[in-house]
Structure 1
Amino acid sequence: MSTPNQAQQDIGTLLVQVTQTTADVIVLIIQILYAFILSIGRLAIRKQPRSVRGDIVLVTGAGHGIGKELALLYASEGATVVIWDINEKNGSQTVKEIAQLGYPKAHFFVCDVSSRDDVLRVAEEVRHKVGDVTILINNAGIMPTHPFLEHTTDEIQRIMNINVMAHFWTLEAFLPAMKRHNYGHIVSLSSTAGLFGIPNLVPYCCSKYAVRGLMEALYQECRTDKKNYIKFTSIYPYMVDTGLCKKPKIRFENLMPLVKPKEAALEIMNAQRTETNEVTIPRYLFGAHNLCRMLPLKAQLYIMDFIGVGLESDLI
């Protein structure tokens, strides 16, 4: 049995704990309200994009589509652009177009981002010939579209290697220098397919969910260092008219048309330059997704069936 003194000590300890927890909860509520006020303020007053002049921007898959548009946009803003693509003809063409427009010199390197050895080797070339990358944009990706059981083993492995593992290899190559300088920005392209599942895209959805998890966890890990100045941006585009969406299925085409590559690139660059953590393209999709997730599953399915957006099998 406890003595009266021990009982008094226990009650005193409990009161201290309750008081401390209550104070912590009050502080948390104030912090949440402050976050809401900041968020509302950002809607009213758009943050001015920071300059990228002098930055070294590396874009993977910059030989065509969104990647190419990003390379052109960053070059137009005075950044030194490093183009990675597995297709030498396409990559060289992007460099040629940048030169013809009179922008700062761009650099092209052939790189298979699915290969760790190739990524680390080419990254070393970039360091020697151009310098330390300060903005890394993981854009490269592939999107076979057919039922899960019709995917081959090699196809699934390739989707994961290009869409997911390539992010690990580029981070391994460029994040250490960013941490040394305490300066840099990581931009990774997930997809709206990384927010909700879509038929005929099971491995692709898996890969894009993985990118979302990678970026969220990496951001949280770096955030524990209060002096960290490395920024992170995750992008969730709706279907973009780059050729990857071979057989889109859209019920309301006027309301939800395919996004143009240049439009997507402008949104991505603006998100990076305003240091926005997460962005869907179009932007309203994030709010719509979050609201939808609050509903019962059956209601979510009714909404998805009503909207009628998806992809037909590319094997038919």
Structure 2
Amino acid sequence: MNFKDKTVLITGAGSGIGKIMARKSLERGCANLVLWDINEISLATAQQEFATVGGRIFTFKVDVSNLDEVKMQAQRVRTEVEAVDILINNAGIVVGKYFHEHTHDEIHKSMAINSEALMHITLEFLPGMIAQNSGAICNIASSAGLIANPKMSVYAGSKWAVVGWGDSLRLEMQQLKKNISVSTIMPFFINTGMFDGVKSKILPILEPEKTSEKIMTAIENESKLLAMPMPYWFIRLSQGILPVSAFDWVMQHVFGIYDTMKDFRGRK
């Protein structure tokens, strides 16, 4: 999917890789850039920063965990802008604690933002893509959608849901012979502040600029599944070949994955 002259909608676009992908969409020549974020100040700052890059920029304050708000703002996009060609479901949150330490509200909020919102937002714009038989949907999941991790149980559960739903949607579009690509992205920790305090033994913490570029390229190439830095097939192959205890040992003692969240602080 080429970004030139397209209408692109990005959630969580006020900061982190969402903001970087917004800039890169304009640099690639998109005609209309629609930014969704819960933070109005971040939206205003992004709009001001990108004003001279090119293309029209539309900002919408949206709490993606609120279904009524999602439906209302999606209708505004269809009315005030036009049909969305490229949808990047990027908004997400993380609560880094053991499961028994969670509150019911934290569980509900994590699932609503990290899983349900992607489905509801896609449901708002997918019919338009189907009608024009063209479109691209990119879902930002996580490597936590492939590998379980202590102090990430709810986050991992929400991202596993995204991986399963997103790839099923991809197969549905293929089965229906629709020219709509669905890309599921599963990155390791990204250095945006969201995972402050995380420590990695071997795997590098990903840099936002390079990671964003890889995601943009994945959309352009209509990549189906992209994990970073370890390829998804390596993870799944390892899980399939190794007994659970052996896989756990490798993740714990070789890669140090199971200790990454010990000093997690997150974004203040």
For residues 219 and 315 of structure 1, what CA distance do their matches in structure 2 show?
A: 35
Find out whether 1:289 has 2:238 as its counterpart.
no
Please tell me whether the aligned partners of residues 146 and 312 of structure 1 are also in contact (alpha carbons under 8 angstroms): no
More helix per residue: 1 or 2? 1
Q: Which has the larger radius of gyration?
A: 1
CA offsets, 1:146-180, max 9 Å, x none? 11100111001000010011012101210111111
Structure-1-length-normalised TM-score = 0.80
Deviation at 1:58? 0.3
What is the one-letter code of the residue matched to 1:195?
Answer: L
Change (3 A) 1:124 1:153: same
1:1-316 equivalent positions in 2, closer than 5 A = 50-79=1-30, 80-100=32-52, 102-226=53-177, 228-252=178-202, 256-282=203-229, 284-293=230-239, 294-305=241-252, 306-309=254-257, 310-312=260-262, 314=264
Any idea what SS the aligned residue of 2:60 has? Answer: strand
Greater displacement, 126-135 / 214-223: 214-223
Structure number with the bigger relative contact order (C-alpha 8 A, sep ≥ 6) is 2
State the 4+ residue runs in structure 1 displaced beyond 4 angstroms.
313-316
Q: CA RMSD in A?
A: 1.5
Greater displacement, 86-95 / 212-221: 212-221
Please tell me whether the aligned partners of residues 212 and 234 of structure 1 are also in contact (alpha carbons under 8 angstroms): yes
Please tell me whether the aligned partners of residues 87 and 138 of structure 2 are also in contact (alpha carbons under 8 angstroms): yes
Any idea what SS the aligned residue of 1:250 has? Answer: coil
Please tell me whether the aligned partners of residues 246 and 314 of structure 1 are also in contact (alpha carbons under 8 angstroms): yes
Deviation at 1:290? 2.6
Q: Which runs of 5+ in 2 are unaligned?
A: none
For residues 231 and 169 of structure 2, what CA distance do their matches in structure 1 show?
A: 24
Q: Which runs of 5+ in 1 are unaligned?
A: 1-49
For residues 123 and 46 of structure 2, what CA distance do their matches in structure 1 show?
A: 26
Would you say how many aligned residue pairs link Structure 1 and Structure 2?
A: 261
